[in-house]
Amino acid sequence: MTTEEESDLKKYRFRDLHPNISIGMASDRYAGWIGQVYSEGRYSKEIKHRTHKIGEKTFTEEVLPVESVEEYFEHFPILEIDFTFYRLLLDKNGKPTPNYFTLKEYQQHLKKDDQLILKVPQLIFARRIRQGGKFVENEAYLNSQIFTHQFYKPAVEILSSNLRGFMFEQEYHPKKERVEPDEMAKALDAFFNAIPKDKRYHVELRTEAYLAEPVFDVLEKHGVGLVYSHWTWLPPLSKQFSKTKGRFFNSGGDCIIRLMTPRRMSYEDSYTKAFPFNENVEGMMNPEMIDDAVEIIMKGVRQNKRMRLIINNRAGGNGPIIAQEIAEELQKGKF
């Protein structure tokens, strides 16, 4: 590692790590990153407070203004937008929702090379959604018309070349609610047949039983990437990669790896441990997570794939520090 590279990593700057490696965060605007990613005092008059209830506990989050994304992109080449998961961009009458305007505000602060991955609304890809305090069947599940007209088209219109990927995240299905892999494959096949052709689609399936050949065949057929995700109920990244026999399905040559939570740790527990996200928590991070991620990234780069690593604070406490550890390991590697 050169002195310049070492200096960049110490300053949490990852834009020039490797032409085919992009490291970014699963969200942004965290006050816990002030002094790492964001400058001290720069946003002090614009920080907003919001409460977040986890179980019986209530946490007060400090949120930076959207304009802080400019400083974020001085450090990272890519960002996953999380808020689009919770609401469409257009309502059923074609009118812009609040998310439409927030995404447009983000776009106004992007430079030409800044890249976004959008989480597709759960309304599109979740079989069951929470309503009135309980989970119910989602009538809009895999609705190609809603996806196309109320999300895809306005997203492309707003972001243009800054849009690097669409990430479809499907919730975990308990055993009693699962379908057979063949049935899941048929449903995905019909959906991807019906939506606009695009090389930027990626699917995260949080049910291990669906990581099976019938599903892989459909993803490969449509050029849809499989997201390798380090998450609560999924097997280690190395096992996921083994299940695919080391394949990358995205026809655009991209692969997304997401480091979300420690294995066997719930969202609630990981949030509680990691908050306020300003440092890594001793003993929280699974030791194999970094090694597995680095191994998959290096194998992908050797195959000339563009590897996109997305990190959540809840994977260990502080996303930028996790990124730093991974970048240091990558610098030791031989591509």
Burial annotation 300-315 (CB, 10 A radius, 16+ → b, else e): bbeeebbbbbbbbbbb
CB 27 within 8 A of CB 80: yes
pLDDT in tens, 161-181: 999 999 999 999 999 999 999
pLDDT in tens, 256-269: 999 999 999 999 99
Whole-prediction pTM value?
Answer: 0.97
| All domains of the chain in start order, with CATH | 3-332 (3.20.20.410)
Spans of the chain below 50 pLDDT: none
pLDDT in tens, 98-118: 999 999 999 999 999 999 999
Write out the E strands in the chain: 21-25, 48-54, 57-63, 78-81, 115-119, 128-131, 134-137, 163-170, 201-205, 225-226, 228-230, 254-259, 306-311
Instruction: Report the C-alpha dihedral over residues 333, 315, 17, 78, rounded to 10 degrees.
Output: 150
**The pLDDT value given to residue 63:** 98
**The pLDDT value given to residue 218:** 99
